[in-house]
Structure 1
Amino acid sequence: MIFPFRRTVLALLGGCGLLAGCASPPLHIYTLGIPVHSDTKSLQVSPQTTVVQVSRVVMPDYLDCQDIITRQGEEIHRSPNSRWASRLSLGITDLITNEVAATASHDTLFTDQPLAKAADMQIMIAISEFDVDVNGHAILNAHWAIIPHDRNKPLLRNIVHLAANGPVHTDADTAALMRNLVVQLATQIAKSIPSNIR
Protein backbone atom coordinates (compact mmCIF):
# COMPACT_ATOMS: atom_id res chain seq x y z
CA MET A 1 0.00 0.00 0.00
CA ILE A 2 2.96 2.34 0.46
CA PHE A 3 4.14 2.26 -3.14
CA PRO A 4 0.85 3.27 -4.85
CA PHE A 5 0.58 6.16 -2.38
CA ARG A 6 4.11 7.27 -3.26
CA ARG A 7 3.32 7.10 -6.97
CA THR A 8 0.22 9.27 -6.43
CA VAL A 9 2.20 11.87 -4.48
CA LEU A 10 4.95 11.93 -7.12
CA ALA A 11 2.36 12.33 -9.87
CA LEU A 12 0.78 15.27 -8.03
CA LEU A 13 4.17 16.89 -7.46
CA GLY A 14 5.03 16.42 -11.12
CA GLY A 15 1.76 18.07 -12.13
CA CYS A 16 2.51 21.04 -9.86
CA GLY A 17 5.94 21.36 -11.46
CA LEU A 18 4.42 21.47 -14.94
CA LEU A 19 1.96 24.17 -13.84
CA ALA A 20 4.78 26.23 -12.36
CA GLY A 21 6.71 25.89 -15.61
CA CYS A 22 3.71 27.25 -17.54
CA ALA A 23 3.26 30.37 -15.42
CA SER A 24 1.12 33.12 -16.94
CA PRO A 25 2.78 36.33 -18.18
CA PRO A 26 3.14 39.17 -15.66
CA LEU A 27 0.19 41.48 -15.12
CA HIS A 28 0.66 45.01 -16.49
CA ILE A 29 -0.97 47.92 -14.65
CA TYR A 30 -1.74 51.13 -16.56
CA THR A 31 -2.80 54.64 -15.63
CA LEU A 32 -4.40 57.14 -18.00
CA GLY A 33 -2.20 60.00 -16.85
CA ILE A 34 1.42 60.57 -15.96
CA PRO A 35 1.95 62.36 -12.60
CA VAL A 36 3.19 65.92 -12.95
CA HIS A 37 5.92 66.71 -10.43
CA SER A 38 6.26 70.23 -9.15
CA ASP A 39 8.54 72.04 -6.72
CA THR A 40 5.49 73.62 -5.13
CA LYS A 41 4.82 71.92 -1.79
CA SER A 42 1.41 73.43 -1.08
CA LEU A 43 -1.12 75.91 -2.41
CA GLN A 44 -2.48 78.63 -0.17
CA VAL A 45 -6.21 78.93 -0.84
CA SER A 46 -7.27 82.49 -0.08
CA PRO A 47 -10.79 83.98 -0.06
CA GLN A 48 -10.00 85.29 -3.55
CA THR A 49 -9.18 81.82 -4.90
CA THR A 50 -11.83 80.45 -7.23
CA VAL A 51 -12.47 76.78 -6.47
CA VAL A 52 -13.86 74.53 -9.20
CA GLN A 53 -14.85 70.98 -8.29
CA VAL A 54 -14.80 68.28 -10.94
CA SER A 55 -17.30 65.57 -9.99
CA ARG A 56 -16.50 61.93 -10.62
CA VAL A 57 -17.23 61.05 -14.23
CA VAL A 58 -20.34 58.97 -14.82
CA MET A 59 -20.06 56.21 -17.44
CA PRO A 60 -21.63 52.86 -18.43
CA ASP A 61 -21.21 50.09 -15.84
CA TYR A 62 -19.50 47.67 -18.21
CA LEU A 63 -16.75 50.22 -18.84
CA ASP A 64 -16.35 51.47 -15.28
CA CYS A 65 -14.03 48.72 -14.12
CA GLN A 66 -10.30 47.96 -14.13
CA ASP A 67 -10.40 45.83 -17.29
CA ILE A 68 -8.83 47.18 -20.48
CA ILE A 69 -11.51 46.57 -23.06
CA THR A 70 -11.66 46.46 -26.85
CA ARG A 71 -14.74 45.84 -28.97
CA GLN A 72 -15.33 43.59 -31.96
CA GLY A 73 -18.82 44.31 -33.20
CA GLU A 74 -21.16 43.48 -30.32
CA GLU A 75 -18.51 41.42 -28.54
CA ILE A 76 -16.39 42.84 -25.70
CA HIS A 77 -12.81 41.63 -25.24
CA ARG A 78 -11.20 42.03 -21.82
CA SER A 79 -7.40 41.92 -21.70
CA PRO A 80 -6.14 38.89 -19.74
CA ASN A 81 -2.74 40.48 -19.04
CA SER A 82 -3.42 44.14 -18.26
CA ARG A 83 -5.54 46.27 -15.93
CA TRP A 84 -6.14 49.92 -15.12
CA ALA A 85 -4.64 50.98 -11.79
CA SER A 86 -8.11 52.12 -10.63
CA ARG A 87 -11.67 52.10 -11.90
CA LEU A 88 -11.78 53.84 -15.26
CA SER A 89 -14.12 56.61 -14.06
CA LEU A 90 -11.58 57.60 -11.39
CA GLY A 91 -8.70 57.62 -13.87
CA ILE A 92 -10.65 59.74 -16.34
CA THR A 93 -11.74 62.20 -13.63
CA ASP A 94 -8.15 62.58 -12.45
CA LEU A 95 -6.77 63.14 -15.95
CA ILE A 96 -9.45 65.69 -16.89
CA THR A 97 -8.92 67.58 -13.63
CA ASN A 98 -5.16 67.75 -14.19
CA GLU A 99 -5.48 68.77 -17.84
CA VAL A 100 -8.05 71.50 -17.15
CA ALA A 101 -6.05 72.77 -14.14
CA ALA A 102 -2.99 73.16 -16.37
CA THR A 103 -4.85 75.78 -18.42
CA ALA A 104 -6.19 77.72 -15.44
CA SER A 105 -5.00 81.04 -14.05
CA HIS A 106 -3.00 81.08 -10.81
CA ASP A 107 -6.02 82.21 -8.75
CA THR A 108 -8.21 79.27 -9.77
CA LEU A 109 -8.05 75.87 -8.11
CA PHE A 110 -9.44 72.76 -9.82
CA THR A 111 -9.98 69.69 -7.66
CA ASP A 112 -11.75 66.34 -7.80
CA GLN A 113 -11.51 65.87 -4.04
CA PRO A 114 -14.33 66.33 -1.48
CA LEU A 115 -14.61 69.87 -0.14
CA ALA A 116 -15.65 71.18 3.26
CA LYS A 117 -17.24 74.23 1.63
CA ALA A 118 -19.23 74.45 -1.59
CA ALA A 119 -17.09 75.22 -4.63
CA ASP A 120 -17.61 78.35 -6.72
CA MET A 121 -18.37 76.10 -9.66
CA GLN A 122 -18.97 72.40 -10.28
CA ILE A 123 -18.30 70.44 -13.46
CA MET A 124 -20.37 67.29 -13.97
CA ILE A 125 -19.36 64.96 -16.81
CA ALA A 126 -21.17 61.94 -18.24
CA ILE A 127 -19.64 59.64 -20.84
CA SER A 128 -22.28 57.71 -22.78
CA GLU A 129 -19.90 55.82 -25.06
CA PHE A 130 -16.16 55.16 -24.94
CA ASP A 131 -15.11 52.33 -27.23
CA VAL A 132 -11.94 51.18 -28.94
CA ASP A 133 -12.48 48.52 -31.58
CA VAL A 134 -10.01 45.85 -32.68
CA ASN A 135 -9.26 47.84 -35.85
CA GLY A 136 -7.97 50.82 -33.86
CA HIS A 137 -10.98 53.11 -34.27
CA ALA A 138 -11.94 54.85 -31.02
CA ILE A 139 -14.91 57.04 -30.16
CA LEU A 140 -15.91 59.00 -27.08
CA ASN A 141 -19.33 60.59 -26.65
CA ALA A 142 -19.78 62.83 -23.63
CA HIS A 143 -21.82 65.68 -22.25
CA TRP A 144 -21.12 67.93 -19.32
CA ALA A 145 -22.67 70.70 -17.29
CA ILE A 146 -20.94 73.66 -15.66
CA ILE A 147 -22.91 74.62 -12.58
CA PRO A 148 -22.13 77.92 -10.78
CA HIS A 149 -22.61 78.12 -7.02
CA ASP A 150 -24.51 81.35 -7.63
CA ARG A 151 -27.89 80.07 -8.82
CA ASN A 152 -28.55 83.42 -10.50
CA LYS A 153 -25.89 82.62 -13.07
CA PRO A 154 -26.74 80.40 -16.04
CA LEU A 155 -26.03 76.67 -16.09
CA LEU A 156 -23.97 75.74 -19.15
CA ARG A 157 -24.44 72.44 -20.99
CA ASN A 158 -22.22 70.97 -23.69
CA ILE A 159 -21.99 67.79 -25.73
CA VAL A 160 -19.18 66.40 -27.86
CA HIS A 161 -18.44 63.47 -30.15
CA LEU A 162 -14.74 62.64 -30.45
CA ALA A 163 -12.96 60.08 -32.62
CA ALA A 164 -9.37 58.93 -33.07
CA ASN A 165 -7.49 56.17 -34.85
CA GLY A 166 -4.32 54.37 -33.85
CA PRO A 167 -2.66 51.00 -33.39
CA VAL A 168 -4.10 48.53 -30.86
CA HIS A 169 -1.53 45.75 -31.20
CA THR A 170 -0.81 45.91 -27.46
CA ASP A 171 -2.66 47.01 -24.34
CA ALA A 172 -0.23 49.93 -24.13
CA ASP A 173 -1.45 51.04 -27.57
CA THR A 174 -5.08 50.84 -26.42
CA ALA A 175 -4.30 52.82 -23.24
CA ALA A 176 -2.52 55.52 -25.28
CA LEU A 177 -5.45 55.81 -27.70
CA MET A 178 -7.92 56.17 -24.84
CA ARG A 179 -5.72 58.77 -23.15
CA ASN A 180 -5.66 60.74 -26.42
CA LEU A 181 -9.47 60.95 -26.43
CA VAL A 182 -9.72 61.90 -22.74
CA VAL A 183 -7.20 64.71 -23.27
CA GLN A 184 -9.30 65.93 -26.22
CA LEU A 185 -12.37 65.90 -23.97
CA ALA A 186 -10.49 67.85 -21.28
CA THR A 187 -9.52 70.46 -23.90
CA GLN A 188 -13.16 70.89 -24.91
CA ILE A 189 -14.24 71.24 -21.28
CA ALA A 190 -11.52 73.80 -20.56
CA LYS A 191 -12.63 75.91 -23.54
CA SER A 192 -16.24 75.92 -22.29
CA ILE A 193 -15.45 77.25 -18.81
CA PRO A 194 -16.46 80.94 -18.58
CA SER A 195 -13.77 83.42 -17.61
CA ASN A 196 -16.00 85.11 -15.03
CA ILE A 197 -16.37 82.03 -12.81
CA ARG A 198 -17.10 83.83 -9.56
Structure 2
Amino acid sequence: MNMTPMPFFPRIATSALALAAALAGCASAPVHYYTLSVPAGTASAPAGAQAAYMIDVLPVSVPTPADQPQLMVRNGDGSVSALYSERWTAPLADEVRGALSDALQRELGALDVRVVKPASSAAVWRVQTDVQRFDLSPGAAQLDATWRVRPVNLKGSGLICRTVVDEPASGQGASALVAAQQRALSKLAGVMASAIRGRQAPDGEGVRSVGCAPLKE
Protein backbone atom coordinates (compact mmCIF):
# COMPACT_ATOMS: atom_id res chain seq x y z
CA MET A 1 0.00 0.00 0.00
CA ASN A 2 1.38 3.40 -1.02
CA MET A 3 1.56 5.73 2.04
CA THR A 4 1.97 9.37 0.99
CA PRO A 5 2.91 11.82 3.79
CA MET A 6 0.23 14.37 4.47
CA PRO A 7 1.34 17.69 2.96
CA PHE A 8 0.21 19.86 5.89
CA PHE A 9 2.65 18.34 8.39
CA PRO A 10 5.58 20.49 7.22
CA ARG A 11 3.41 23.58 7.41
CA ILE A 12 2.42 22.75 10.99
CA ALA A 13 6.04 22.16 11.95
CA THR A 14 7.10 25.43 10.31
CA SER A 15 4.34 27.36 12.10
CA ALA A 16 5.28 25.81 15.44
CA LEU A 17 8.92 26.74 14.94
CA ALA A 18 7.96 30.30 13.99
CA LEU A 19 5.77 30.64 17.11
CA ALA A 20 8.53 29.26 19.33
CA ALA A 21 11.01 31.71 17.83
CA ALA A 22 8.61 34.62 18.38
CA LEU A 23 8.04 33.62 22.01
CA ALA A 24 11.76 33.26 22.56
CA GLY A 25 12.27 36.76 21.15
CA CYS A 26 9.65 38.20 23.53
CA ALA A 27 11.18 36.37 26.49
CA SER A 28 14.63 37.74 25.73
CA ALA A 29 13.50 41.38 25.51
CA PRO A 30 14.76 43.21 28.63
CA VAL A 31 12.11 44.64 30.97
CA HIS A 32 12.87 47.87 32.85
CA TYR A 33 11.11 48.83 36.08
CA TYR A 34 10.55 52.40 37.28
CA THR A 35 9.45 54.10 40.48
CA LEU A 36 8.08 57.60 41.04
CA SER A 37 9.81 57.94 44.40
CA VAL A 38 12.96 60.05 44.23
CA PRO A 39 16.06 58.15 45.42
CA ALA A 40 17.21 59.12 48.91
CA GLY A 41 19.84 61.81 48.90
CA THR A 42 18.95 63.21 45.48
CA ALA A 43 16.23 65.60 46.65
CA SER A 44 17.04 68.59 48.82
CA ALA A 45 14.91 69.11 51.92
CA PRO A 46 14.03 72.65 53.09
CA ALA A 47 15.82 73.66 56.27
CA GLY A 48 13.58 73.91 59.29
CA ALA A 49 12.52 72.36 62.58
CA GLN A 50 10.70 69.05 62.83
CA ALA A 51 6.97 69.62 62.44
CA ALA A 52 4.74 69.35 65.51
CA TYR A 53 2.28 67.23 63.52
CA MET A 54 2.24 64.18 61.28
CA ILE A 55 0.78 63.65 57.82
CA ASP A 56 -1.64 60.97 56.69
CA VAL A 57 -1.40 60.54 52.92
CA LEU A 58 -4.48 58.52 52.01
CA PRO A 59 -4.65 56.03 49.11
CA VAL A 60 -4.63 57.84 45.76
CA SER A 61 -7.01 57.36 42.84
CA VAL A 62 -5.56 57.45 39.32
CA PRO A 63 -7.28 57.47 35.90
CA THR A 64 -7.96 54.04 34.43
CA PRO A 65 -6.11 54.60 31.11
CA ALA A 66 -2.86 55.25 33.01
CA ASP A 67 -3.44 52.61 35.69
CA GLN A 68 -1.57 49.81 33.93
CA PRO A 69 1.55 47.82 34.84
CA GLN A 70 3.34 49.26 31.82
CA LEU A 71 4.00 52.90 30.98
CA MET A 72 1.27 54.35 28.76
CA VAL A 73 2.42 57.11 26.40
CA ARG A 74 -0.05 59.50 24.76
CA ASN A 75 0.75 60.26 21.13
CA GLY A 76 0.08 63.48 19.24
CA ASP A 77 -2.72 61.87 17.20
CA GLY A 78 -4.72 60.99 20.32
CA SER A 79 -3.69 57.33 20.42
CA VAL A 80 -1.98 55.73 23.40
CA SER A 81 0.98 53.37 23.19
CA ALA A 82 1.76 50.74 25.82
CA LEU A 83 5.48 50.31 26.50
CA TYR A 84 5.40 46.65 27.52
CA SER A 85 9.10 46.52 28.34
CA GLU A 86 8.87 49.64 30.56
CA ARG A 87 6.91 48.92 33.75
CA TRP A 88 6.09 50.40 37.14
CA THR A 89 7.64 48.74 40.17
CA ALA A 90 4.29 48.84 42.01
CA PRO A 91 0.69 49.65 41.03
CA LEU A 92 0.56 53.24 39.79
CA ALA A 93 -1.72 54.45 42.61
CA ASP A 94 0.79 53.14 45.17
CA GLU A 95 3.66 54.78 43.28
CA VAL A 96 1.91 58.17 43.30
CA ARG A 97 0.98 57.92 46.99
CA GLY A 98 4.52 56.94 47.94
CA ALA A 99 6.06 59.78 45.92
CA LEU A 100 3.70 62.37 47.46
CA SER A 101 4.35 61.03 50.96
CA ASP A 102 8.13 61.19 50.50
CA ALA A 103 7.98 64.72 49.08
CA LEU A 104 5.64 66.01 51.81
CA GLN A 105 7.80 64.52 54.55
CA ARG A 106 10.82 66.34 53.08
CA GLU A 107 8.93 69.62 52.59
CA LEU A 108 7.30 69.72 56.03
CA GLY A 109 9.71 67.79 58.22
CA ALA A 110 6.75 65.62 59.25
CA LEU A 111 6.45 61.85 59.47
CA ASP A 112 3.77 59.87 57.66
CA VAL A 113 1.48 57.92 59.99
CA ARG A 114 2.35 54.82 57.95
CA VAL A 115 5.95 55.18 59.13
CA VAL A 116 5.16 55.71 62.82
CA LYS A 117 1.70 54.90 64.18
CA PRO A 118 0.45 57.96 66.11
CA ALA A 119 -1.64 58.14 69.26
CA SER A 120 -5.33 58.79 68.76
CA SER A 121 -4.86 62.36 70.02
CA ALA A 122 -1.90 63.14 67.74
CA ALA A 123 -2.01 66.20 65.51
CA VAL A 124 -2.27 65.12 61.88
CA TRP A 125 -2.78 66.72 58.49
CA ARG A 126 -4.76 64.34 56.30
CA VAL A 127 -4.05 64.49 52.55
CA GLN A 128 -6.34 63.04 49.90
CA THR A 129 -5.51 63.10 46.17
CA ASP A 130 -7.59 62.22 43.11
CA VAL A 131 -5.48 62.30 39.95
CA GLN A 132 -7.53 63.41 36.93
CA ARG A 133 -4.74 63.13 34.35
CA PHE A 134 -1.42 61.33 34.51
CA ASP A 135 0.01 61.78 31.04
CA LEU A 136 3.32 60.77 29.58
CA SER A 137 3.80 62.32 26.14
CA PRO A 138 6.86 62.55 23.88
CA GLY A 139 8.97 65.25 25.52
CA ALA A 140 6.68 66.09 28.46
CA ALA A 141 4.58 64.91 31.39
CA GLN A 142 1.33 66.34 32.74
CA LEU A 143 -0.23 65.88 36.17
CA ASP A 144 -3.74 67.14 36.90
CA ALA A 145 -5.01 66.47 40.42
CA THR A 146 -7.81 67.44 42.78
CA TRP A 147 -6.58 67.29 46.37
CA ARG A 148 -7.75 67.96 49.90
CA VAL A 149 -5.87 68.76 53.09
CA ARG A 150 -7.68 68.59 56.43
CA PRO A 151 -6.35 69.12 59.98
CA VAL A 152 -7.09 66.53 62.68
CA ASN A 153 -6.58 67.36 66.37
CA LEU A 154 -5.06 70.77 65.61
CA LYS A 155 -6.09 74.24 64.49
CA GLY A 156 -6.27 75.02 60.81
CA SER A 157 -8.62 75.14 57.86
CA GLY A 158 -9.18 72.37 55.36
CA LEU A 159 -8.97 73.08 51.65
CA ILE A 160 -10.01 71.41 48.42
CA CYS A 161 -7.96 72.46 45.40
CA ARG A 162 -7.11 71.49 41.86
CA THR A 163 -3.62 71.86 40.45
CA VAL A 164 -2.17 71.19 36.99
CA VAL A 165 1.55 70.63 36.50
CA ASP A 166 3.19 70.55 33.06
CA GLU A 167 6.77 69.32 33.18
CA PRO A 168 9.10 69.03 30.16
CA ALA A 169 11.26 65.94 29.87
CA SER A 170 14.99 66.64 29.81
CA GLY A 171 15.93 63.86 27.44
CA GLN A 172 14.51 61.02 25.39
CA GLY A 173 13.07 57.67 26.37
CA ALA A 174 11.03 56.23 29.21
CA SER A 175 13.47 57.20 31.98
CA ALA A 176 13.24 60.88 31.00
CA LEU A 177 9.42 60.75 31.10
CA VAL A 178 9.44 59.08 34.52
CA ALA A 179 11.87 61.72 35.82
CA ALA A 180 9.52 64.43 34.51
CA GLN A 181 6.59 62.93 36.44
CA GLN A 182 8.79 62.69 39.54
CA ARG A 183 9.42 66.43 39.30
CA ALA A 184 5.72 67.11 38.66
CA LEU A 185 4.74 65.17 41.80
CA SER A 186 7.37 67.02 43.83
CA LYS A 187 5.93 70.35 42.65
CA LEU A 188 2.40 69.21 43.52
CA ALA A 189 3.61 68.21 46.99
CA GLY A 190 5.16 71.68 47.34
CA VAL A 191 1.77 73.29 46.65
CA MET A 192 0.12 70.99 49.21
CA ALA A 193 2.80 71.79 51.77
CA SER A 194 2.19 75.53 51.31
CA ALA A 195 -1.53 74.99 51.93
CA ILE A 196 -0.78 73.06 55.13
CA ARG A 197 1.41 75.97 56.28
CA GLY A 198 -1.49 78.35 55.58
CA ARG A 199 0.06 79.93 52.50
CA GLN A 200 -0.86 80.02 48.84
CA ALA A 201 1.84 78.81 46.49
CA PRO A 202 2.25 81.08 43.45
CA ASP A 203 1.78 79.74 39.94
CA GLY A 204 4.86 79.31 37.83
CA GLU A 205 7.44 76.79 36.62
CA GLY A 206 4.71 74.73 34.97
CA VAL A 207 2.39 74.83 38.00
CA ARG A 208 -1.12 76.24 37.56
CA SER A 209 -3.82 76.46 40.23
CA VAL A 210 -7.30 75.85 38.83
CA GLY A 211 -8.92 76.89 42.10
CA CYS A 212 -9.20 76.34 45.86
CA ALA A 213 -12.12 76.41 48.27
CA PRO A 214 -12.55 75.85 52.02
CA LEU A 215 -13.62 72.35 52.98
CA LYS A 216 -17.05 72.19 54.56
CA GLU A 217 -17.08 70.64 58.00
Q: TM-score, normalised by structure 1?
A: 0.73
What is the one-letter code of the residue matched to 1:170? G
- Is the 2:140–2:167 Cα contact (8 Å) retained in structure 1? yes
In the other structure, the counterpart of 1:43 is none
Deviates more, 1:147-156 or 1:11-20: 11-20
- Structure 2 distance, partners of 1:193, 1:144, is 12
What is the one-letter code of the residue matched to 1:162? V
CA deviation vs aligned residue, 1:29-76 (integer Å, no higher than 9, x gap): 111124427xxxxxxxxxx96222001122212212222011123211
In the other structure, the counterpart of 1:129 is 133
Q: Which of 158, 161, 165 pairs up with 2:164?
A: 161
Q: Which of 99, 103, 111 pairs up with 2:107?
A: 103
In the other structure, the counterpart of 1:177 is 180
Question: Per chain length, whose mean CA-contact separation is higher, i.e. which structure has more relative contact order (CA < 8 Å, sep 6+)?
Answer: 1
Describe the shift of the 1:81–1:16 C-alpha distance in structure 2 as closer, same or farther (beyond 3 A): same
In the other structure, the counterpart of 2:94 is 90
- Structure 2 distance, partners of 1:17, 1:145, is 52
- Is the 2:34–2:178 Cα contact (8 Å) retained in structure 1? yes
- Structure 2 distance, partners of 1:126, 1:113, is 22
CA deviation vs aligned residue, 1:1-36 (integer Å, no higher than 9, x gap): 8x98xx869868855774476355111111112442
- Structure 1 distance, partners of 2:25, 2:113, is 46
How many correspondences in the alignment? 181
Describe the shift of the 1:179–1:10 C-alpha distance in structure 2 as closer, same or farther (beyond 3 A): same
Q: Report the identity percentage.
A: 17
Describe the shift of the 1:62–1:116 C-alpha distance in structure 2 as closer, same or farther (beyond 3 A): farther
CA deviation vs aligned residue, 1:116-162 (integer Å, no higher than 9, x gap): 7656221111111121223x232211121111224985322222121
RMSD over aligned CA atoms reads: 3.3
